[in-house]
Amino acid sequence: MSYRNILFDSVDGLARLTINRPDKLNALNRETITEIDAALEAFDRDAGARALILTGAGDRAFVAGADIGELAEQTPHGGREYSLYGQSVLSRLEASGKPTIAAINGFALGGGLEIALACHLRVASESAFLGLPEVTLAIIPGFGGTQRLARLVGKGRALEMILTGDRIDAREAHRIGLVNRIVPPAHLISEAEKLARAILSRGPVAVRFAIESVNRGMEMPAAEGQFLEATLFGLLTTSEDMKEGTRAFLEKRKPAFRGR
| Beta carbons within 8 Å of 70's beta carbon, 6+ residues apart | 29, 30
Q: Compute the distance between CA of residue 192 and CA of residue 203 in angstroms, rounded to an integer.
A: 19
User: What's at 145, amino acid-wise?
Assistant: G
Indicate if 134 belongs to the active site.
yes
Is 41 tagged catalytic?
no
Beta bridge partners of 124: 104, 182
What span, in angstroms and rounded, lies between the C-alpha atoms of 70 and 67? 6
Out of 94, 114, 126, 193, pick the active-site residue.
114
Q: What distance in Å separates the CA atoms of residue 222 and residue 215, rounded to the nearest whole number?
A: 13
**Are 142 and 67 a contacting pair, CB within 8 Å?**
no
Strand extents, DSSP E, 152-253 = 168-169, 181-183
Q: Specify whether the CB–CB gap between 67 and 19 falls below 8 A.
A: no
Residues 6+ positions from 49 with CB-CB distance below 8 Å? 10, 13, 14, 15, 43, 98
Q: Are 67 and 24 in contact (CB under 8 A)?
A: yes
**Exposed / middle / buried, residue 26 (Cβ in 10 Å: 0-12, 13-18, 19+):** buried
Which whole-number Å values give the CA distances from 257 to 39, 207, 232, in the listed order? 26, 12, 18
Catalytic residue among 134, 160, 193, 240: 134
Q: Which residues are catalytic?
A: 114, 134
